[in-house]
């Protein structure tokens, strides 16, 4: 894996992105805007499901109207997010918060998959009803919570507290970030 | 007011208890930033739904006033979250913000955006049936909030 990441970092477009003065900030600003579109529209989908807004619309109607926008936001968010990763691959790959974020995104994805599978199968029975099954409400709230945690851990990637080039770190941190520390070097530095 | 008077106030704000407190902590600034982002998402959702209705992109079979009424509360909640987290972020680096062009663009668009939404967009959305006017209002509002959010991100790069 590390070899692949190192290769990614050595590609000319990765170097160009990394060394660009304005492109990287522009991509990051776009990423933030797409987060707002994705998270904001998802919020309303989940609020409808919990029965707080747009009660005059059925849940499937609400989903049909709003979810396309959520998906567009998601795709653009992932695209810009990938470019941000691609600009600094090694540092991101070994970043603790980046790893936490990816795990949280996988969980959020599984939750969304479960949610929509159940939704497609059962929603006809409670679509216009106010008695939405508890598991579905729970899943909607979890989705908001999970994506909030994704946003928080994403924001934390920028901070270098646990970065590999900031030693000494505790062993567990170096393990979690796949950081190999050349201890001999540090010991010899201690001697100086 | 002369600019050095403003700068004096900026220094007082930076030296304020909250500013000092946020600066002294390693974690506080990033944590507040994260909640600022979530606030942005909440506001963003209500802006997108409302303005896209005004533009005729979303909720075409629902009335403009219905969509605005459904999203109003969450606009307020988002704005409240953004202000309550944004103020301590600003206080902790008020001097840096003072010299940042992005900050002044952001604050200008924010103030314009808030005035526009409460005094033009929402009242007009409830009253007007002029589709062209409503589309214009939707695009002004959406542009203001996009520039506010994007230039806000740029404060961190300056």
Query: How far apart are the CA of B94 and the nearest CA of chain A, in angstroms?
Result: 21
pLDDT per residue as tens digits for the range A40-89: 999 999 999 888 999 999 888 999 999 999 999 999 999 999 999 999 99
Distance (Å, rounded) from C-alpha B112 to C-alpha B78?
17
Series of mean pLDDT values for 10-residue runs along chain B (158 residues): 84 94 93 96 97 95 95 98 97 95 96 98 92 96 97 88
| ipTM field | 0.93
The torsion angle over the Cα atoms of residues B111, B37, B52 and B125, rounded to 10 degrees, is: -40
Distance (Å, rounded) from C-alpha A178 to C-alpha A5?
13
B58 touches chain A (CB under 8 A): yes
Mean predicted confidence (pLDDT) in A30-45 = 97
Q: What percent of chain A has pLDDT over 90?
A: 59
The whole-number pLDDT of residue A116 equals 85
The whole-number pLDDT of residue A35 equals 97
Buried b (16+ CB within 10 A) or exposed e, B57-67: ebbeebebebb
Joined tokens for residue A1:
């894996």
The whole-number pLDDT of residue B78 equals 98
Decide if B37 and A35 are in contact by the 8 Å CB cutoff.
Answer: yes
Any idea where the domains of chain A sit in the sequence? Answer: 2-159, 162-192
The whole-number pLDDT of residue A135 equals 85
**Residue of B31, B45, B62 lying closest to A40 (CB–CB):** B45
Give B33's contacts in chain A (Cβ within 8 Å).
Answer: 155
Longest dimension (CA), chain A: 74
Q: What is the mean pLDDT of chain A?
A: 88
Give B26's contacts in chain A (Cβ within 8 Å).
Answer: 161
pLDDT winner (highest mean) among A115-124, A146-155, B121-130: A146-155
Q: Assign A24 a pLDDT band (cuts: 50, 70, 90).
A: very high
Q: Which of B88, B151, B60 is nearest to A30 (CA)?
A: B151
The whole-number pLDDT of residue A161 equals 83
Rounded to the nearest 5 degrees, what angle is found at the Cα of A24, between the Cα atoms of A23 and A27?
A: 85
Task: Give me the number of domains chain B comprises.
Answer: 1
Distance (Å, rounded) from C-alpha B6 to C-alpha B9?
5
Closest residue in A to B153 (Cα) is A29
**Residue of B31, B43, B70 lying closest to A53 (CB–CB):** B70
Q: Assign A185 a pLDDT band (cuts: 50, 70, 90).
A: low
> A142, exposed or middle or buried, with CB in 10 Å at 0-12, 13-18, 19+?
middle
pLDDT per residue as tens digits for the range A94-112: 999 999 999 999 999 999 9
Structural domain boundaries enclosing B34: 3-155
Give A30's contacts in chain B (Cβ within 8 Å).
Answer: 150
Q: Which residue has the higher pLDDT, A126 or B70?
A: B70
Distance (Å, rounded) from C-alpha B12 to C-alpha A161?
30
Q: How many CB atoms lie within 10 A of CB B28?
A: 15
**Residue of B33, B38, B157 lying closest to A148 (CB–CB):** B38
- Listed in sequence order, the DSSP H helices in B55-98 are 64-92, 94-98
The whole-number pLDDT of residue A190 equals 58
Task: Write the CA distances from A91 to A84, A85, A86, A176, B89, integer angstroms.
Answer: 11, 9, 10, 14, 26
Contact indicator for A109, A56 with CB cutoff of 8 Å:
no
Q: Assign A155 a pLDDT band (cuts: 50, 70, 90).
A: very high
Query: How far apart are the CA of B5 and the nearest CA of chain A, in angstroms?
Result: 32
Q: Which of A83, A4, A81 is nearest to A35 (CA)?
A: A81
Give A48's contacts in chain B (Cβ within 8 Å).
Answer: none
The whole-number pLDDT of residue A121 equals 80
The whole-number pLDDT of residue A184 equals 55
Q: Assign A191 a pLDDT band (cuts: 50, 70, 90).
A: low
Residues contacting B33, CB < 8 A, separation 6+ = A155, B85, B89
Joined tokens for residue A127:
């679509």
Rounded to the nearest 5 degrees, what angle is found at the Cα of A83, between the Cα atoms of A82 and A84?
A: 90
The torsion angle over the Cα atoms of residues A52, A58, A62 and A65, rounded to 10 degrees, is: -160
Decide if B47 and A40 are in contact by the 8 Å CB cutoff.
Answer: yes
Decide if B40 and A47 are in contact by the 8 Å CB cutoff.
Answer: no
Decide if B149 and A148 are in contact by the 8 Å CB cutoff.
Answer: no
Distance (Å, rounded) from C-alpha A128 to C-alpha B16?
53
């Amino acid at each position: 894996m590390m070899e692949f990441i190192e290769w990614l970092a050595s590609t000319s477009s990765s170097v160009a992105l990394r060394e660009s003065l304005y492109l990287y900030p522009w991509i990051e600003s776009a990423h933030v805007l797409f987060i707002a579109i994705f998270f904001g529209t998802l919020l309303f989908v989940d609020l409808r499901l919990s029965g707080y807004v747009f009660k005059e619309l059925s849940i499937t109607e609400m989903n049909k109207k709003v979810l396309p926008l959520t998906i567009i936001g998601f795709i653009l968010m992932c695209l810009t997010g990938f470019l941000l990763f691609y600009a600094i691959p090694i540092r991101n790959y070994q970043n603790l918060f980046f790893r936490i974020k990816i795990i949280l995104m996988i969980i959020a994805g599984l939750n969304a998959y479960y949610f929509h599978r159940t939704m497609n199968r059962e929603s006809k029975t409670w679509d216009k009803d106010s008695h939405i099954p508890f598991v579905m409400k729970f899943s909607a709230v979890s989705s908001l919570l999970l994506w909030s945690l994704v946003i928080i851990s994403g924001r934390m990637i920028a901070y270098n507290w646990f970065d590999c080039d900031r030693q000494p770190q505790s062993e567990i941190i170096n393990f979690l970030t796949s950081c190999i520390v050349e201890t001999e070097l540090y010991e010899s530095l201690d001697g100086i | 007011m002369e600019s050095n008077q403003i700068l004096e106030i900026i220094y007082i704000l930076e030296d304020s208890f909250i500013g000092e407190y946020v600066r002294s902590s390693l974690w506080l600034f990033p944590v507040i930033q994260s909640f600022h982002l979530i606030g942005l998402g909440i506001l963003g959702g209500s802006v997108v739904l409302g303005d896209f209705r005004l533009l005729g992109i979303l909720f075409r079979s629902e009335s403009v006033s219905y969509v605005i009424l459904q999203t109003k509360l969450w606009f307020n909640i988002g704005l409240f979250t953004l202000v309550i987290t944004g103020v301590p972020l600003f206080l902790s680096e008020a001097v840096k913000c003072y010299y940042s062009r992005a900050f002044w663009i952001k604050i200008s668009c924010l103030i314009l955006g808030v005035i526009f939404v409460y005094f033009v967009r929402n009242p007009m959305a409830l009253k007007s049936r002029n589709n062209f006017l409503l589309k214009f209002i939707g695009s002004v509002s959406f542009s203001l909030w996009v520039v506010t959010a994007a230039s806000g991100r740029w404060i961190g790069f300056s």
